[in-house]
Structures are given as structure tokens and as C-alpha cells.
Structure 1
Amino acid sequence: MGRQNTAVNATGWHAVIKRWRRNNRGRLNRLLTRLLGTAAPRRRALAPDTRRILVVRLNKRLGNILFLTPLLRTLAASLPTASIDVLIQDVKQKALLESLPGVGRVWVQEKTLTKLFGLARQLRRQHYDLAIDPSGNSTSNRLAMVLSGARQRMGFAGDTQWLRLSHAAPRPRSRHQAEQAVELFAESVDTLALECFDTLAVFPAAAAQAQARQHWDAAFGDADVRRPVIGFFAHATGNKQLPAAWWDDWCRALATRLPGATLVQIRPPGQPANLLEDTVGVSIAELDVLAALMTRMDVFVAADSGPMHLAAAAGIPVVGLFQSTDPAAYAPLGRGCISLSGDTLTGTQAALAVARIAASAQRGDTAREG
């Protein structure tokens, strides 16, 4: 009992200290904003010679990196002569961004202090004309913008925006981070004809497509793959993950509505066994190769997770499952994507949604053949 009370007290003190630090950081940020920062929006034209752009998103979550793709495509289409570089944290995500139109170099933040200083020197040598922070509350993003030495800086204005910005958007109207990033650019820049994008996108290179074909052939061998091909990812972090019983219900309901479908389970690297029987399992560590494999599927089903957003970016209709997160902020953004939550989040409803998407795709194929 004594140890239990000690653990509870430790947890309580940890929460108090964390709240104290957060409150003090907020007070400091508001003070710095009044002295140095950007509390009010600033909409103005870009410098006419804006050619080199750096987008900073220092976050390791796959979904957050994919949320950059509408902004990157908007930048490339609206500033066709510009070269767009990106600074991220996870080298595994690099290939997903390198193949986007207009993207030049994808920098990866180094972990050691020596390498961080080296990266800062390299960034300053690029002489960036514009640095963009598409998130509203990242200290790391702001520091990287300062270290880059860019002569123009773009971000969201607010009472805790302690960085002095040349271009600042008001608090975003949209809740989805991908839409907020595009809104930032549209609301910060004046006298520029914009071509905006509102869906995620990746374009795997030929080498990734070839590797995906090898994984596909290894999974199916000489077997005749029956359509539709339904991919699914049954894993997610924390409360976002649905129980195995939910997936069993979904599988039974799907067998009733699409008895001829081929099920392909995407497993995390290192996961040796499939969750469901009578399904083909594939585990791929390279994200661009996984995206290329997903293009061979007709529908993808997953809880709120990186693979859910990757499938949407690959152009596959996605049925997103939201148990504990809000689809308004994290929905899969892509062609034919839908989200289920609340009372609609059942195996039967998910199977019905898959069947409707598959039927619509089949009608489209028939129309094209005609």
C-alpha cells in the first residue's frame, strides 16, 4: 500500500511540475511576443526574387509529414520557378517528399550537437529567401527558421508567436493540419495567383514501384489475385487502436458482402503474424515502397495512423476509423476517402462502406471500358 501511495504521489507531483513548466513557458512566450514577436497578422507580397524556400517540420510522426504535401504542391504550382527544400527529423520519410514536384533537397535533422551545428551552417549557406513554419506551436521549428538565416519568415501570428515574422496568417479557420498549412500560405501572401491543393499526395519513384512489385509477387506467387483487393492496417498507437474483436466482426461482415475479395494485411516491421486468418500479410519498412504497394489496392481500411494517411496520399480510397481522435482534425484527405466514428464505427458499417467504394470503382472501370 505504501509503495502504491508513493507511486500515486509521484504521478501527482509529476503532473504539477509539468503544468507549472507549461504555464511558465506560456508566460515567457507571451512576454517575448510583446517585446519581439508577431501577435498580429501580416499579409504582404513576397519579395520578387523569392526563389529558394525552406519548409520546416521537425516532427517524426508520419501523418504530420504527409500533411505537408498539399502545402508543398501549392508552393510548387504557385511559385513554379522556386526550389523548395524541407527540413524533417526522420530519414525514413525522406523519399516520400523528394519525388514531389518542385522539391529540391530534404534535410534531416541530426541528433548530435556537433552535427546540429554542421546542419545549421549548411542551411545558412543556402541563402534561403523564405522559411515557413506550417505549425503554430513548435519551438524547434521556430529555432530552425532562425538558424536558417532566411530573410523572410512565414508562420501563424498569435500572442505566443515570439518569432518576428515577415508574413503571418491569423489563427487558422480549418482544424485539419494539412488544410491549415495551405491556409497559412494563402492568408500570408498578397498579390500572387495561387493554385491550392487539398489532398495528400506522394509519387513513388520507379525504383520503389519495382520493389513493390517484388513484394506483391512474393506475397501472392502465381495465385490469381481476385478483385477487389482490400488492404487494412489493424495497428495504431494508444487508444486509437481497435480491439481484435472489432476486426473479426469486420472480416465476417465483409465476407458476406464481398465474398470474392482479397484481403491484404499491412503489418508493422517486426510483426511476425497476421491478426486475421485467411489474409495475405505484407511488412515493408521503406515507406515509399509501401506507398507503391498500396496503389495496387482498391480500398484501404485503418484506424487513425501513419499507414492510413499514406494510403490516402497514394491515391487509394480509405475508410478511416476514429475511436479516440477527431476526424475533423485527422481525416484521411484523398480521393474517395471517408471517416467513421461514434455510432458508425462498427465492423458492419465499415464493411458496408468498403462494399460501396468497391462497387463504385467497378462501375467506373466498366464505364471506362465502354
Structure 2
Amino acid sequence: MRPIELVNCVRRKTLCLLTGSITSGISCVDSIDRKCIKKVLIVRPNHRLGNQLLISPLIQEVHRMFPDSKIDLFVKGPLCRVLFHNDEAVDDIMTLPRKHFNDFFCYVAGWYKVRSKKYDLVINVVSTSSSGRIATKVARSTYKIFGDEADVNVLINLPYKKHIAVKPIYNLRTYFSALGYDEMTKELPLLKIQLSDAELLAGKEVLRKYIADDKKETIALFTFATGAKCYQQEWWQQFLQELKHRFDNYNIIEILPAENVSQIGFSVPAYYSKDLREIASVLANVRLFIGADSGMMHLAVAAGVTTVGLFSITKMDVYAPYGNLNKGIDTTRVTMDQLMDEINASLPQLN
């Protein structure tokens, strides 16, 4: 085991020991006046693009339930400032550095800032996150939700109950439903990145540079994913061939990852950028996004484009695109022809 792996292993085990006694934040509260909830902290100390986008529905839900509140975020890495800088509901974004020991002063400062503020409500997004539970425990707040509040029996007939973006919403609703508020069956918010009109227009202009016919609508592919989630080149090449055959009246472009690699050998116009907001603005102007489970898939959903997520390893009920016409497809259970049929059936207006 490499030294850094050993350090991370020890850190995880230590955090597990420290958080083993931290239980649910539900206390014996008879009533809460929602008008008194003015400062809310959402805790998700994870640096990945997808995981940070997946808190956007919770931000919307908190803003709906407490429209006069200001929301702080406790996260890891710099992405959150990019993703939510245009969101009026978000007030302060407190960050931990991605590599704790390389920037230990900022790491300590991040924790100190969490402790120094006073909140009315703190919400830990993922119950199994040790650092999330510690932050929720450390934060000074009248009410705390640690992430394991929702009763399985209550959720049994509710949609997307296992989804990582929806579970914290149900936890929040459970907390307040127990106090007499009717919340459980409200419409679920979707992933969202707030793009300005200027950004959307700029994205449209960028897209025009990559399409052959601006009278046709566009399908965007993202062929990369991390680790075993990434489909082989042969699979993608067959997929592209079938896609061109079935949807020949659409432009097809590829959105490239930060690694600037292509599983289809750059065989269609390929767009590359490190500007996440520009990428989102481009995606907002295409008709359909298809890609494996990845942060880019979640960015497409947040940008509002109809999204088809391809799954072979990760759990669809936890990570698949939801809402509108978005869907996940388990590619281990369908042939290529059936996959095309699934895409076609889920998007009837593409016919």
C-alpha cells in the first residue's frame, strides 16, 4: 500500500470511530415555525463534479420551504463556487482543500469557519459520509438533520426514494412532516445549474461552430467515464454507427473530458473546454445528451437537456437521471438494437 493510500485508510477508519456515536439529528421537538429558519447549512464535503451538482435539488427544496432563508454550503474543492455562483439562494460557500495535507492551514480554516457561524438548520446530505456527520455535529445549529431520518415504510410508495439527490429531500420532508407539515408528496425538484441568458446565447454560438447544419437539432455524446464505468472503444464505435443510422437527421457532436480523450477516435466534431459553465451552456442548446454515469451526465441534466445515462456497474436507482424525459439504461440487459429502441421510445419527439 502506498503511503498516501495508508494515510487515507487511517483517516477513514479514524473518522468512522469518531462518528460511530453520532446519531440522528431528530430530537423531541413539538413544533417549528418555518419563518424562523433564516440560516441553513448544507453539508457535502466531496470534491467531485457529479456529487456537487446532486445537491442542487436540495438547495431548491430548502429555498421552497424557507423562501426567506440564506443557504451556506460546506463542500470540498473549488467547483461549487463555479456551479452555484449565479444561484441567489446560496449565500456563502465554505470549502475544504481537496488534498488536506498539502494545504493543512486551509483545511483547519475551513472547519473553523463552520464552527464560527450560527445556523437555524444544518443538513448532512449523505448519512454515510464521516466528515459530513462530523461537520453536522460540529456546526452550531438549533436543528440538525444527519441524513438518516426518512422512514423506509413512509417512502415505500414515493418515487426515486433511493436516489442520492432525492434522499436528503425526503429526509428534510420527513423531519417537518413529523411536525405537522404536509410535505412528502410535493413535486420533486430536479438538478439545476443557474445559467444566465447571456451564457445560454454564448453557448448557442459556440455550438454553431461544431455542427454541420444549424437547421438540424443536435445529439451530444460523452464517451468517457472514470474506471470501470468507461465503455470500451469498440462498444462506442458500434453505438455511434447505430446512432447515425437511426438518427440520421441530427447533428452529432462529442463533448470531450478534461483528459481530452475520445472513445470514438474523434470521429465526430469534438468540443473541448475546461469552463464548466460554458460546457453547460452548450449542452443547454442540444436536443439530447447520451453518456455513461459521470459528472458530465449530471451536468447535462442540470443544464436542462434530455439526458440518457448508460449504466453497466453503478446503481441506476441511486444515480440515474430522473425527471422530465431523462432516464438511465442498463446496457448489460439490452442489445444494441434494443438500446436504440429504448432511446427512441423515451424520446418520442425525436421521431
2:203/2:285 contact within 8 Å kept: no
Corresponding residue of 1:301: 290
Corresponding residue of 1:130: 121
* 1:91-136 Cα shifts (integer Å, max 9, x gaps): 1232322334522222222443322333344444542221110111
Which stretch has the larger CA shift, 176-185 or 42-51?
42-51
Corresponding residue of 2:67: 80
Report deviation, 1:150.
Answer: 2.4
Corresponding residue of 1:250: 239
How far apart, in 1, do the equivalents of 2:50 and 2:335 lie?
24
Report deviation, 1:353.
Answer: 3.4
Distance change (3 Å), C-alpha of 1:134 and 1:231: same
Distance change (3 Å), C-alpha of 1:104 and 1:179: same
Report deviation, 1:321.
Answer: 0.8
Asked if 1:216 corresponds to 2:207, the answer is yes
Which stretch has the larger CA shift, 109-118 or 88-97?
109-118
- Gapped regions of structure 2 (runs ≥ 5): 156-160
The counterpart of 1:323, out of the listed 312, 315, 323, is 312
The letter for the 2-side match of 1:251 is L
Secondary structure of residue in 1 paired with 2:194:
coil
The counterpart of 2:56, out of the listed 60, 65, 69, is 69
Asked if 1:340 corresponds to 2:329, the answer is yes
How far apart, in 2, do the equivalents of 1:224 and 1:275 lie?
21
Distance change (3 Å), C-alpha of 1:44 and 1:97: farther
Report deviation, 1:317.
Answer: 1.4
Total equivalences in the alignment: 332
- Gapped regions of structure 1 (runs ≥ 5): 1-9, 158-167, 363-370
Corresponding residue of 1:181: 168
The counterpart of 1:96, out of the listed 83, 98, 110, is 83
How far apart, in 2, do the equivalents of 1:41 and 1:81 lie?
24
Report deviation, 1:278.
Answer: 4.2
Normalized against structure 1, the TM-score is what?
0.78
1:51/1:83 contact within 8 Å kept: yes
The counterpart of 2:145, out of the listed 146, 154, 162, is 154
User: Of Structure 1 and Structure 2, which has the larger fraction of its residues in helix?
Assistant: 1
The counterpart of 1:143, out of the listed 106, 130, 134, is 134
Corresponding residue of 2:255: 266
1:71/1:182 contact within 8 Å kept: yes
Which stretch has the larger CA shift, 260-269 or 119-128?
119-128
Report deviation, 1:296.
Answer: 1.0
Which stretch has the larger CA shift, 205-214 or 145-154?
205-214
1:50/1:130 contact within 8 Å kept: yes
How far apart, in 2, do the equivalents of 1:45 and 1:101 lie?
28
2:46/2:52 contact within 8 Å kept: yes
CA RMSD of aligned residues (A): 3.2
Distance change (3 Å), C-alpha of 1:233 and 1:44: farther
How far apart, in 2, do the equivalents of 1:25 and 1:272 lie?
36
Corresponding residue of 1:52: 39
The letter for the 1-side match of 2:32 is L
1:233/1:265 contact within 8 Å kept: yes
Report deviation, 1:54.
Answer: 0.7
Secondary structure of residue in 2 paired with 1:200:
coil
Distance change (3 Å), C-alpha of 1:263 and 1:108: same
Secondary structure of residue in 1 paired with 2:60:
helix
The letter for the 2-side match of 1:113 is F
How far apart, in 1, do the equivalents of 2:291 and 2:228 lie?
14
Distance change (3 Å), C-alpha of 1:229 and 1:356: farther
1:316/1:335 contact within 8 Å kept: no
Report deviation, 1:169.
Answer: 4.0
* 1:233-276 Cα shifts (integer Å, max 9, x gaps): 10111111111111111112122222222111011124166724
Distance change (3 Å), C-alpha of 1:323 and 1:360: same
The correspondence of residues 277-292 of structure 1 with structure 2, limited to 5 A, is 278-292=267-281
Corresponding residue of 1:6: none
1:43/1:187 contact within 8 Å kept: no
Secondary structure of residue in 2 paired with 1:219:
coil
2:310/2:331 contact within 8 Å kept: no
**What percent of counterpart residues are identical?**
21
How far apart, in 2, do the equivalents of 1:42 and 1:311 lie?
41
Asked if 1:202 corresponds to 2:193, the answer is yes
How far apart, in 2, do the equivalents of 1:70 and 1:219 lie?
31
Report deviation, 1:29.
Answer: 4.9
How far apart, in 2, do the equivalents of 1:196 and 1:140 lie?
30
Distance change (3 Å), C-alpha of 1:26 and 1:124: closer
* 1:270-309 Cα shifts (integer Å, max 9, x gaps): 4166724541101121222211110111111111111111
How far apart, in 2, do the equivalents of 1:25 and 1:86 lie?
21
How far apart, in 2, do the equivalents of 1:306 and 1:203 lie?
17
* 1:201-245 Cα shifts (integer Å, max 9, x gaps): 22223454355345324434xx53252311011011111111111
Distance change (3 Å), C-alpha of 1:324 and 1:228: same
Corresponding residue of 1:3: none
Normalized against structure 2, the TM-score is what?
0.82
